[in-house]
Amino acid sequence: MAKSNCTQVTEFTLMGFTADPVIQVMLFQMFLLIYLVTMLGNLGIIMLIKTSPQLHSPMYYFLGNLAFVDLCFSTVVTPKMLADFMLEEKQVTYAGCIAQVFIFDILGIAECFLLATMAYDRYVAICHPLVYSVVMSPQLCFRLVFGSYLIGLVNSMSHTMGVLNLSFCGSKVIDFYFCDISLLISLSTSDTTLNSTILITSASLYGISSILLVLSSYTAIFSTVLGIHSAKGKCKAFSTCASHLTVVSIFYGTSFFMYLKPSSENSRAKEKWAVVLYAVVTPVLNPLIYSLRNKEVKGALRRII
């Protein structure tokens, strides 16, 4: 238990990536470029879907929400990280740290289930095309998206409420570039057994359940596609899934590496760059992957231009 006469921490210090000023300037330039492309790409996808009637379908409804989550995801982490590259003292207030954890957890789980929902959408489109418009009704699409955000909110509230009950009276140094729930738990001077259990359980429950939905959807999709006799038909079916599979592989791979792998001091540098992949790089890849590989998106963009 925390000592009764300890002084509660009012701010934390973020270690970031490196203390080398030259490398910090290089990283600032790189991440600034990534962030600008992320903003332009995801805003462009959202506006394109809104203004193009031919993109008013369930697939692009989910893609628009994914772009919105990616936009927020990157904004929660990157601006503070960019500011810290230019500051000698990399401080974040206790309230700001808790707010970052709260929003980051909502978006992380919401993206998990949005990707799973998109896999289910592809399953219905390829395996049951005749009833696609009936099954993927606007009402169901709204419920699936709303449910993704709701699960993220419930998950985030459980973690945040747990962290608010912890005491931070010792070290205030976070060896990372943003406030991560697992690192906050490790810094606490309270008994964190319950918090650690909730974190591992929720990461396993939500992560594994969403990836199982993705795997089961694609198992059925591959089984159906292999039964198509036309090579052109097979190619068309696989091309509609390639973009989604690429995004899923990057996001889930780095997420599991971060939250379901035992952490250690020796692996901290690897964890920092793994999280960069899904918190900074994945949001910029999503609009690029979907726009470059999707003929309908490219066609809609050409018509607007």
pLDDT tens-digit map of 282-296: 788 777 776 666 667
Domains in the chain: boundaries: 11-302
Mean pLDDT of the chain: 82
**Model pLDDT, residue 282:** 79
User: Quick one: average pLDDT of 150-157?
Assistant: 93
* Amino acid type, 65: N
Token pair recorded at residue 5: 């006469």
**Model pLDDT, residue 1:** 44
Q: How far is CA 296 from CA 131, 151, 192, 255, 288, in A?
A: 22, 31, 50, 30, 14
- Write out pLDDT tens, residues 59-110: 889 989 999 999 998 899 889 888 888 887 788 888 889 999 999 999 989 9
- 3-state SS, residue 67: helix
Which homologous superfamily does the CATH classification assign to the domain defined by 11-302?
Rhodopsin 7-helix transmembrane proteins (1.20.1070.10)
**Model pLDDT, residue 7:** 66
Q: What is the dihedral of CA 227, 291, 120, 215, to 10 degrees?
A: 70
CB 224 within 8 A of CB 241: no
pTM for this predicted structure: 0.86
- Write out pLDDT tens, residues 193-244: 888 888 888 878 888 888 899 889 988 988 888 877 777 767 766 776 777 7
Residue 2 has pLDDT above 50, yes or no: no
User: Quick one: average pLDDT of 170-186?
Assistant: 82
How far is Cα 164 from Cα 159, in angstroms, rounded to an integer? 9
The candidate with the shortest Cα–Cα distance to 151, out of 257, 271, 69, is 69
Residue 4 has pLDDT above 70, yes or no: no
The candidate with the shortest Cα–Cα distance to 243, out of 280, 302, 283, 286, is 286
